[in-house]
Homo-oligomer: A and B are copies of this chain.
Amino acid sequence: MDVRNPSDRFRALRARISGLGEPPGADRGEPGQPLTVGEWALLIDDIVDHAEDNTDPLWNVDPGTSRPYDAIFVGGGASGRFGAAYLRARGGRALIIDRWPFLGGSCPHQACVPHHLFSECARELDLARQLSGKLWFGEFDSSRARITEVVELFKRGRSLPHAVMNWQSKEQLDLEFVLNTPATVLDEHTVEAAGRRFQGENLVLCTGARTVVPDIPGIDLPGVFDFASLVERLDYEPTRCVIIGGSKVALEYGSFFQATGCQTTILTRSPLMSTAGLHHVDDGLRDYVVAMMVDRGIEVVEGAEPVEVLGDSRVTGVRYRTADGRTVDVDSDFVFVGTGERPDLKMYDALGLEVDERGFVVADATMRTSVPSVYAVGDLIGPPMEMFKARKCGMTAARNIMGEHYEYDFTEYPDFLHTTYEVSWCGLSEAEAKARYPKVIKLQMPPDDADPESFPLPAAEGSMLYAFTRPLLSGWFKLLIDADSRRIVGAHHVGFGAKDAFQYIDHLIRRPEGWTIDDMAELSELFLNPEHFIQLSRLRAGKLELVDL
């Protein structure tokens, strides 16, 4: 092969996946060593960059067995890949079909992975602005902070995470898949892909959701983007952004845009962080998060109803109606839609699935739909549209398909979002806790009555430079305790480096036996740790009658 020729390279690399399972007569080379991660990345790059030339499916299907598939996973994103992996680990046979040439779905291609890269850039850009001209930071040059360049960085690099997932799925998880081809669902056991029909004992539907675009004039103008089209189509550097919607995506992408220097306005009907998608948001946490967004210059307009995207050939602004009925125009060369997501269910018409009033597939706690042998998982069945839920739904379907009765309740979970901070929380908000328990105490920094400009809360990883230059910026946290049972009932943090811990704190506080301030005080804290819950608990745990700290 000529490695400089994408088509030659495509054919040669494709042949080495396994080459097995494709229709007779396919034009293919000799199988060889399994592709390395680097080779997978080349193959995916060739397809993504030269889609028109590289339309052949990637086959990794075992022809050496006539064993039926226990399940066909339609879509290989978070829910499909984890579900298939779990089913395979249990000894079942699974097939994944995905239209993209990689497993992992939109997450590593357009959604969570770029979001995390953008959020890390937002955090670093914020630091570069706050410390402009100080220490080793040069004067911040806003002209060098370009959304387009960060998007390009992501696009140049995204094939490597894709490659890791393909490599892992094939070499470590022993999964069968057909990629780079759409699936057609024919009935509750049959899926067609690339001209071949596959039969499965069960189907697991894993095709996710897409942005709900508000139905207002001008919404189709060039210059209107969502998280997916931002990555694929942004071809100019925006200078003035209006975000329609107040979802997590709105806060996260808005913080990034603003940090680059693109003046950003968020138009949201409900107060930020109060929408149905987010629960247990503590008022103190919300106040700090929004105040810090405003401190960075973001304009937040709550109670705003978008009326029209303005412009002739491309976006020039957005018109919205205020809560008190006035109409306001905002200039803008860039509109970003962050109003939430819904699934597209057209491809499942043949199944006649029951769908709820919001447009989500109805599934029970085992992920079974109204159609026997068809499971639906992840974003298809409604919020929270989070990675852990998608993956655990996939696992749940797999366990039930493999004969175990297993139910998954995703109503409670730790949550987080990014601004230029990491914002993490689990359990109850203070208001919720006070409604439920007669005496709630809190361990909080800074205290409500402190002057935040001179209160560098015990800072830690990632907030030290803020603490030593402008204490107000160094974060906020609160731990809520039911004083009678001494149980911890809620935990809330804005800063850096605590998100990971919330996965475990959430588990501990939801154990049937609870997790008390005394239990917390027994742990061994790693100084300086970002959430400070352990040491603050110890400062109070000696008291028989608990009080605030």
Binding site for B on A (CB under 8 A): 36-38, 41, 82, 85-90, 107, 112-113, 116-117, 120-121, 124-125, 127-128, 135-138, 140-141, 144-146, 149-150, 153-154, 156-157, 160-161, 163-164, 168, 172-173, 260, 386-389, 391-392, 395, 398-399, 410, 413-416, 422, 424, 447, 450-451, 454-462, 464-465, 467-469, 471, 496-508, 521-531, 534-535, 538-544, 549
Residues of B within 8 A of A146 (CB): 135-136
Given contacts A503-B501, A541-B89, contact A386 B527 (CB under 8 A): yes
Residues of B within 8 A of A529 (CB): 499-500, 503
Residues of B within 8 A of A144 (CB): 135-136, 138
Measured CB to CB, the nearest residue on chain B to A145 is B136
- Return A402 CB to nearest CB of chain B, in Å: 8
Instruction: Report how far A2 CA is from B501 CA in the complex, Å.
Output: 48
Stoichiometry, as copies per complex, reads 2
Residues of B within 8 A of A128 (CB): 136-137
For this complex, 8 residue pairs linking A to B, each with C-beta atoms less than 8 Å apart, are A37-B451, A153-B468, A173-B539, A398-B542, A413-B524, A461-B496, A500-B500, A501-B501
Residues of B within 8 A of A160 (CB): 454-456, 467, 471
Given contacts A525-B387, A541-B89, contact A454 B82 (CB under 8 A): no
**What 7 A-B pairs come out closest when comparing CB atoms?**
A89-B542, A387-B527, A504-B504, A500-B501, A136-B145, A157-B468, A38-B454
Q: A534 near B107 (CB under 8 angstroms)?
A: no
Instruction: Report how far A530 CA is from B462 CA in the complex, Å.
Output: 14
Contact of A464 among B89, B120, B458, B505 (CB under 8 A): B120
Residues of B within 8 A of A140 (CB): 136
Residues of B within 8 A of A461 (CB): 116, 120, 422, 496-497, 499-500
Q: B499 near A526 (CB under 8 angstroms)?
A: yes
Residues of B within 8 A of A113 (CB): 528
- Return A84 CB to nearest CB of chain B, in Å: 10
- Return A48 CB to nearest CB of chain B, in Å: 16
- Return A62 CB to nearest CB of chain B, in Å: 18
Instruction: Report how far A64 CA is from B455 CA in the complex, Å.
Output: 31
- Return A16 CB to nearest CB of chain B, in Å: 16
Instruction: Report how far A186 CA is from B26 CA in the complex, Å.
Output: 93
Residues of B within 8 A of A388 (CB): 523-527, 534-535
Q: A468 near B500 (CB under 8 angstroms)?
A: no
Residues of B within 8 A of A145 (CB): 135-136
Instruction: Report how far A173 CA is from B388 CA in the complex, Å.
Output: 40
Contact of A496 among B464, B497, B524 (CB under 8 A): B497
Instruction: Report how far A41 CA is from B467 CA in the complex, Å.
Output: 14
Q: A157 near B120 (CB under 8 angstroms)?
A: no
Residues of B within 8 A of A90 (CB): 542-544
Q: B501 near A116 (CB under 8 angstroms)?
A: no
Instruction: Report how far A529 CA is from B153 CA in the complex, Å.
Output: 21
Q: B467 near A157 (CB under 8 angstroms)?
A: yes
Given contacts A125-B136, A144-B136, contact A523 B504 (CB under 8 A): yes
Q: A135 near B116 (CB under 8 angstroms)?
A: no
Q: A542 near B500 (CB under 8 angstroms)?
A: no
Given contacts A37-B450, A502-B526, contact A542 B456 (CB under 8 A): no
- Return A172 CB to nearest CB of chain B, in Å: 6
- Return A425 CB to nearest CB of chain B, in Å: 11
Q: B135 near A538 (CB under 8 angstroms)?
A: no
Residues of B within 8 A of A422 (CB): 461, 497
Measured CB to CB, the nearest residue on chain B to A506 is B524
- Return A97 CB to nearest CB of chain B, in Å: 20
Q: A136 near B141 (CB under 8 angstroms)?
A: yes
Residues of B within 8 A of A117 (CB): 464-465, 468
Instruction: Report how far A120 CA is from B495 CA in the complex, Å.
Output: 14
Q: A120 near B524 (CB under 8 angstroms)?
A: no
Instruction: Report how far A467 CA is from B117 CA in the complex, Å.
Output: 9
Instruction: Report how far A468 CA is from B118 CA in the complex, Å.
Output: 11
Q: A500 near B497 (CB under 8 angstroms)?
A: yes
Q: B149 near A112 (CB under 8 angstroms)?
A: no
Given contacts A508-B504, A528-B116, contact A543 B89 (CB under 8 A): yes
Q: B458 near A161 (CB under 8 angstroms)?
A: yes
Contact of A135 among B82, B149, B157 (CB under 8 A): B149
Q: A82 near B526 (CB under 8 angstroms)?
A: no
- Return A400 CB to nearest CB of chain B, in Å: 13
Contact of A465 among B121, B465, B534, B544 (CB under 8 A): B121
Residues of B within 8 A of A141 (CB): 136, 138
